Amino acid sequence: MKNKHLIIPVLIMTSLSQSSCSTNKSLTFETPKEGFSVVQHIPKNEEGRDKNALYLTPRSIKEEEFNTPELNTFIDSMNAVMLREEGVGIAANQLGKRLQIFIIEAMDDNPRYKVLGTVNNQVFINPIITKVSKERKNFWHGCLSANGEDRGNVATFEWIEYECKNQKGETQRGRLDGFAAVIFQHEYRHLMKGTYLDHAKHLLPKAKLDEKLKSGELPFFELADDSLPLLIEGYQANTNLEDY
């Protein structure tokens, strides 16, 4: 009997140790010691996608995690990286975190994009798309996760309606159109897994693209037909991201 009592605590400690060691940090709000860097796209024919957060299903944020210092600090970090990298949006899995969170924001003086009006900072947690327009528009996308890659022309819905949570856990519903709808769908694509480079068929270096857009040779944010690939191909209205 004496030996039996000695074995139980040892088994408990071993179990706790194994549980701690097996925690997947990509599913937590934990900040890496070296700080956050932006995860980069991996082409479909190359190895590593099965271990890259951009191509793995993100988890939803739990009720008890809302309005906590950990969540709020992580969102502050997302904002800081987006500002540092001069992006107009950022998703959690671009920072290696498989979490259903993204942010959109666009200022008129952003140097990376031809901004179609200011988009105020907004955080989307556990987002779902509830309704979309019949019309689609084209847009030449770049991405913080596609450093040095060509811009890609894909279609997005002219407007979308959504439901999500804010940082306090309150349900938010709304409708976005224009540039805000484009950014929303770009970030939603990340949480659906992947980037615009997985879908675009027409690609151009940014410098050449800018020339062609300025001359009017190429369309920019005009109505698109079904021949242009849809950025969020495979989306389903009123469906949780875990179900994609």
Per-residue model confidence as pLDDT tens digits over 62-110: 999 999 999 999 999 999 999 999 999 999 999 999 999 999 999 877 7
110: exposed, middle or buried (Cβ count in 10 Å: 0-12, 13-18, 19+): middle
pLDDT digits (tens, 9 = 90+) for 183-204: 999 999 999 999 999 999 999 9
pLDDT score at 218? 94
Residue 232 clears pLDDT 90, i.e. is over it: yes
pLDDT score at 239? 96
C-alpha torsion sign, points 115, 118, 120, 126? negative
Spatial contact of 166 and 123, defined as CB atoms under 8 Å apart:
yes
Q: What is the largest CA-CA distance in the chain?
A: 87
What lies within 8 Å, CB to CB, of 74 at 6+ separation is 29, 31, 92, 97, 99, 101
Q: Residue 129: phi, psi to the nearest 5? A: -95, 125
Q: How confident is the model at residue 14 (pLDDT cuts 50, 70, 90)?
A: very low
Burial 73-99 (b: 16+ CB within 10 A, else e): ebbebbeebbeeeebbbbbbbbbbbbb
Q: Kindly report the pTM of this predicted structure.
A: 0.89
Domains of the chain: 26-243 (3.90.45.10)
pLDDT digits (tens, 9 = 90+) for 109-164: 776 666 578 899 999 999 999 999 999 999 999 999 999 999 999 999 999 999 99
pLDDT score at 110? 75
- Identified catalytic residue from 161, 187, 222, 242: 187
Residue 34 is among the residues annotated as catalytic for this protein: no
